[in-house]
Structure 1
């Protein structure tokens, strides 16, 4: 049976919030609470072993979908495929929408002049809003007409590929991903593995020299050119983590080259 669009049921320019999750029990309730204004919430879970499914299913608006992991872009397209409203807002499990941003999203969707909208992200390390280091304004395209956008098929750092005119929202999204040094280490290791695989797929060659020079330049760019030193200890940690992630990525890519040669 064909599913109705929310707009066909009388919700003009309805909005679906879509999310992908895995073991997010510590943050998911607060995130969902921040988007209860949406007409529906689609959550795609890739096999969580904690209380994430239970928490999500306790929210009446949530459509919960089990889906084996296929990569960030493909996973988000699964969520997009389950959305039924004219508009979609993509949200990560460690982000939240303020009442001001929620009101702006509803207002824009009801009188949109564009097909998609960028939103600024306020990134936090612990309780500190990081205003430099390349972390602000950190614009990401998150609100778009469902029939005008798809996520790129990338294993990491996926983006929305939009057909149509793009605008910008004024109110920021809050992102609280890092709470400790261990969080930075885990992300650097995980993303560098995915990045190395992407380099292999694109045929990009690596070497120990490239790993070192790219890592050093990344630290300089983050800490000096992007004024990371103004963020204090957080800026130093971000610069070092970015450099380590780039170094790991090139070294892992070199390992893949050597295995295939």
Structure 2
């Protein structure tokens, strides 16, 4: 390989996913794992696999990934999430790209393929899902907010015929748990940034449009009932983040009950005794 390669992975309690990810990039010259306080065997597994492990309290997704990239030893880096892995054939394509890349190319987008509810998702806009993951760290960095992050590079981006497996959701319950976390983070970010109010358009129109775009216009219906479920959950995600924004903007997110008079048994007894004495 003309240019050595560092693989950068951020983790937190990823013992179920990390071995698959690390095994798929064994050809790399270096694997850097930045862990944010795992309480399972993530760190031990990374060390056993020969990774260089760095402990770093979570800084946010973009900042955490930039920290991993800065710790890498080589100019070209491949950034993967722990629930992602390279499918067979990736090594040869990546080696060829790094050996022959044009000077103006600062990064490569890879094809992410999600596995969910028992099979690969091939429609609905989830395949092929190109993500810029292989890049020259001297000309690129991760940018984004508390949830969504992407790589921005100074230079051209080419596409590689490299497939990245993605197993982000174990099941529907796990998916909904992630939605609960991400929608709260998104709503809080919007609220802090004084985002436009969550009106009828956002609460009804945007979820409906997302469902129609995914299920009807982008072929999610080809996945059958599984495609309908996925599109419905994604629409629910859109609805929930705006509903939580509405909650914050209207001051309804404090968990307080209604204002009602509180009955004081001691005072009530004293009043009744006083009334009895008067009589």
Judge same fold: TM > 0.5, yes or no: yes
- Establish whether residue 182 from structure 1 lines up as the match of residue 173 from structure 2: yes
Tell me the residue number matched to 1:54.
44
205, 221, 227: which one aligns with 1:235: 227
- Establish whether residue 194 from structure 1 lines up as the match of residue 188 from structure 2: no
The answer to whether the 8 Å contact 2:117/2:226 transfers is no
1:259 & 1:17 partners in 2: Cα distance? 44
209, 212, 216: which one aligns with 2:204: 212
SS in 2 for 1:190: helix
The answer to whether the 8 Å contact 1:208/1:251 transfers is no
Matches within 5 A, 1:159-174: 159-174=150-165
Structure 2 unmatched ranges of 5 or more: 253-279
- Aligned CA RMSD, in angstroms, stands at 1.6
2:214 & 2:192 partners in 1: Cα distance? 27
Counting matched residue pairs gives 249
Tell me the residue number matched to 1:63.
52
Structure 1 unmatched ranges of 5 or more: 1-10
Deviation readout 1:170-223 (Å, 9 max, x if unpaired): 121111222311122122212212221332244322335222322222222211
SS in 1 for 2:138: coil
Tell me the residue number matched to 1:7.
none
The answer to whether the 8 Å contact 1:23/1:48 transfers is yes
Tell me the residue number matched to 1:110.
99
Runs of 4+ in 1 over 3 A off after TM superposition: none
- Establish whether residue 87 from structure 1 lines up as the match of residue 87 from structure 2: no
The answer to whether the 8 Å contact 2:86/2:162 transfers is no
Residue 126 of structure 1: CA displacement?
Answer: 3.8
Residue 259 of structure 1: CA displacement?
Answer: 3.5
Tell me the residue number matched to 2:133.
142
- Establish whether residue 222 from structure 1 lines up as the match of residue 214 from structure 2: yes
The answer to whether the 8 Å contact 1:126/1:176 transfers is no
The answer to whether the 8 Å contact 2:191/2:245 transfers is yes
My pick for the range that moved more, 48-57 or 188-197, is 188-197
1:153 & 1:208 partners in 2: Cα distance? 25
1:12 & 1:222 partners in 2: Cα distance? 41
Residue 17 of structure 1: CA displacement?
Answer: 0.6
TM-score, length-normalised on structure 1?
A: 0.90
